[in-house]
Amino acid sequence: MRLRAEALLALHEGDALAARLDAELAGLPPAAAARARELVAQFEAYQTAQAAAFPPGRAPLVPEEGLAQLQAMQALRASHFGADAARQMFAQDDAVARRILELMREDTSTTRSMEEKAMRAQVRYDLERGAVPP
């Protein structure tokens, strides 16, 4: 449901969002449709708060800032969805982000940019999980 809510909010707004949501929820029992509407509203509020707290285009300058930002995002999600629901929806993504940031922190090069460290960390992460051959 999380990915669908994110997609709906990314592709529709205002009356178009309401119409699309009505169409998608038409076949659900009333209680389930109400819960889905509530979740979409929570996601909309969360995305607004996220954009205010972490403006687009302002990336962390060092991995430690990224880890602090991840913790702040987790707290923000918990405040919007509840701790358990937020953990269920985002735990896998958070684990990947945390590991990549940790790998970036291990890269002690002073000449590489954060973008370069991120690309190298992604490759190392893929190697760790066996997604690419060494």
Q: Residues 122-132: pLDDT tens digits?
A: 999 999 998 87
- What is this structure's pTM? 0.84
**pLDDT at position 50 over 80:** yes
- Give residues with Cβ within 8 angstroms of 131, minimum separation 6: none
> In the predicted model, what is the mean pLDDT of the chain?
94
What's the sign of the alpha-carbon dihedral 64, 67, 71, 77? positive
**pLDDT at position 57 over 90:** no
